[in-house]
Amino acid sequence: MKQILKNLWSQRAQNVWLFAELVVVCFVAWTQIDPIAVRLFYHNQPTGFDIDRLVVAEARLYKTIWQDTHGSIEEETYDQMSEKFTQEMKQLKQHLLGLDEVAYVSFLDGIEGYPRMNKHYWEIPLPNDTIGIDIPWCFFDIEEDFFETFGIQPIPGSPSQHELSMNSGGGQNLIITRSLAERIYGSAEAAIGKKLDSGSTYGDGAGNKYPIIYTIQGVVEDVAARTDEYSTWMAFCPNGRLYLSDYQSKARLVIRLKPGVNMTRFVEEQTYRTGELASEHYVICSFVPYVDAPKNMDFSDTPDYNAQSDYDFNLSVATAIFFLINLCLGVIGTFWMQTKRRTEESGIMRAFGATKRRIMGMFLAEGFVLTTLSMLITCVLYLNYVKTGLGELCINPQLPQCQPDPTWVADKPLHFCILAGIVYVIICIVVSIGIAIPAWNIVRTKVVEALRDE
């Protein structure tokens, strides 16, 4: 180690520029790798519902529906139009259930940020405190077999999937996830049948206000609401009907196939039959596996969070990879040229009996020392960077109104150490490539040729 430090100091004029370059590269690489690592981690977290044998059927409006009764949209109330839409979807559902391979059908997907997902702010009184929670709510129709279709499992002691889907209490009943039940009541089993004061009120039109109180009909296993964050606090509300989204000309139905049915074959076969399954105004025009639906289906006139999220994520990954490749090539080139200049030094060392392995090891060790020192400086710079509110280290700050993220992403010290380790390993590999290849060529050079210009 003394010899390595001595060599670095003797060549400090050249090494100071290598050191400065490594600090910049480590910092920029960190800012690019951090968001990618976080989002890849979230994308690979279990969703909590069974996506096997799930197919999405897209229905398109082929005949105007909103002007059938009164002649204009303005003369029809929103409730009337929603009722028309609900009946149309139920007709399509019955057609799909008539297929031999289909077990269950649910309407517009309420999971993964699709249009039937919303958020409500609750102020929930706890034994020792009152917390404000921004909870994702998923709405479903009491006749759509929601929990059976998505394979969301109730906890032991909770009503069955069918009983939860046929929730007769309507909007006064709720189904919540295990983690949310444990946070409020201490245990998931204790939540079943309890009254939950949402902290909100409603008026009767005469100036009187009444608290909104829900009955927890059941508790289900945790479900991840989004793929760009980790939150398993969710509430499922049987609102009793479907709601419109901008007089939509497109709609989706989610199909669960029966056990043993080949999903790929089913999609291919039904694709040839598109147009045969239709209601009065809608026709099913395509079938897509559920996992491919967000990126393969065009819903330009229907809000689709996932499509935009996937596009932004893919764009950020492509941009980051582009910058990282250029940075890595720059580092490799710099160390390559720096090592290539040490041909004579290598010849002198070999003339005094140094082995090829020892020379290679010394060159690589010098690179590791420079990388380690630059990484230590980068850690200090990045800590100050995130203190300004920038960087992925600032996301999921475990605010009182948010669900504490149990993963490493929200654990700031662990998050920092993991990403520092990832960046350090990547830069070490890059530096090793920039040193090892020219160093191997140098040590293979004959001593006489290496010392020719000495």
**Segment 315-352, tens digit of pLDDT:** 777 888 888 888 888 888 888 888 887 777 777 777 77
Same domain, 244 and 343: no
Please check whether residues 37 and 121 belong to one and the same domain. Answer: no
Q: What pLDDT score was predicted for residue 186? A: 84
Sheet holding 195-203, edge to edge: 117-125, 130-140, 235-238, 173-177, 209-220, 195-203
What pLDDT score was predicted for residue 309? 56
184 and 248 together in one domain: yes
List, in order, residues 6 or more apart from 239 with CB less than 8 Å away. 139, 140, 141, 170, 171
Beta-strand (E) ranges in 406-453? none
Query: Which tens digits make up the pLDDT trace of 23-35?
Result: 999 998 898 888 8
Domain contains 245: yes
Residues 99 and 33 in one domain: no
Structure tokens at 180: 């949310």
Sign of torsion over alpha carbons 121, 125, 130, 131:
negative
What does the block give as tokens for 375?
Answer: 């990484």
Closest CA to 232 of 136, 145, 142: 136
Taking residue 146's Cβ as centre, other Cβ atoms within 10 Å add up to 29
Whether residues 272 and 348 share a domain: the answer is no
271/147 same-domain check: yes
The arithmetic mean of pLDDT across residues 50-64, rounded, is 82
Cβ proximity of 306 and 113 under 8 Å: yes
Convert the pLDDT of each residue in 392-424 to its tens digit. Answer: 665 544 444 455 667 788 778 888 999 999 999
- Report residue 281: phi and psi, to 5°: -125, -15
**Between 101 and 248, the higher pLDDT residue:** 101
Count of structural domains within the chain: 2
Specify the higher pLDDT residue, 167 or 73.
167
80 and 169 inside one domain: yes
Q: CA 180 to CA 169: how far, in whole Å?
A: 21
Rounded to the nearest angstrom, the gap between the alpha carbon of residue 387 and the centroid of all alpha carbons in its chain is 25
The whole-number pLDDT of residue 397 equals 45
Answer yes or no: do 162 and 106 share one domain: yes
Q: Pick from 301, 318, 340: which residue ends a domain?
A: 301
Segment holding 26, helix H or strand E: helix 12-43
Q: How confident is the model at residue 301 (pLDDT cuts 50, 70, 90)?
A: very low
Rounded mean pLDDT, 368-375: 90
Residue 99 has a pLDDT of 92
| Distance separating alpha carbons of residues 353 and 103, to the nearest angstrom | 78
Q: Across residues 2-22, what is the average pLDDT?
A: 72
Q: Is the dihedral of CA 126, 131, 136, 140 positive or negative?
A: positive
Do 199 and 80 have their domain in common?
A: yes
* Residue 49 covered by a domain: no
> How many residues comprise the chain?
454
Whether the predicted pLDDT of 7 surpasses 70: no
DSSP annotation of 319 reads H
User: Would 101 be classed as within a structural domain?
Assistant: yes
The whole-number pLDDT of residue 49 equals 80
Q: Which of 251, 276, 301 is the last residue of a domain?
A: 301
Alpha-carbon distance values, 372 to 190, 294, 366, 382 (Å): 52, 43, 10, 15
Kindly state the helix (H) or strand (E) to which residue 297 belongs, with its residue range. none
Q: Are 173 and 214 in contact (CB under 8 A)?
A: yes
What does the alpha-carbon distance between residue 393 and residue 387 come to, in Å, rounded to a whole number? Answer: 9
Domain boundary among 301, 327, 343: 301
For the chain, give the longest Cα–Cα distance: 103
Whole-number Å distance between alpha carbons of 29 and 377: 14
Residue 313 lies in a domain: yes
123: tokens are 């102020």
Q: What is the pLDDT of residue 153?
A: 92
Residue 244 has pLDDT above 70, yes or no: no
Centre a 10 Å sphere on the Cβ of residue 299 and count the other Cβ atoms it contains.
Answer: 20
- Write out pLDDT tens, residues 416-451: 999 999 999 999 999 999 888 888 888 777 666 656
pLDDT in tens, 215-240: 899 999 988 766 556 778 888 888 75
Q: To 10 degrees, what angle do helices 412-443 and 305-340 make?
A: 40
CB 94 within 8 A of CB 257: no
Over residues 74-119, the pLDDT tens digits come to 455 667 777 777 788 888 999 999 999 999 998 865 555 454 666 6
Q: Are residues 64 and 167 in the same domain?
A: yes
Question: Chain centroid to CA 284: how far?
Answer: 29
User: What does the pLDDT read at residue 406?
Assistant: 72
Q: Who wins on pLDDT, 260 or 129?
A: 260
| Beta strands in 126-172, from DSSP E residues, in sequence order | 130-140
| φ, ψ at 83 (rounded to 5°) | -65, -40
Q: Say if 119 falls within a structural domain.
A: yes
- Listed range (126-135, 282-291, 405-414) with the worst mean pLDDT: 126-135
What's the pLDDT at 170? 59
186 & 167 share domain: yes
Query: Do both 370 and 290 map to the same domain?
Result: no
| Sheet strand arrangement including 250-257 | 102-106, 250-257, 54-61, 282-289
79 located within any domain: yes
Q: What amino acid occupies position 98?
A: G
DSSP structure class, residue 278 = B
Whole domain around residue 271: which residue ranges? 54-301
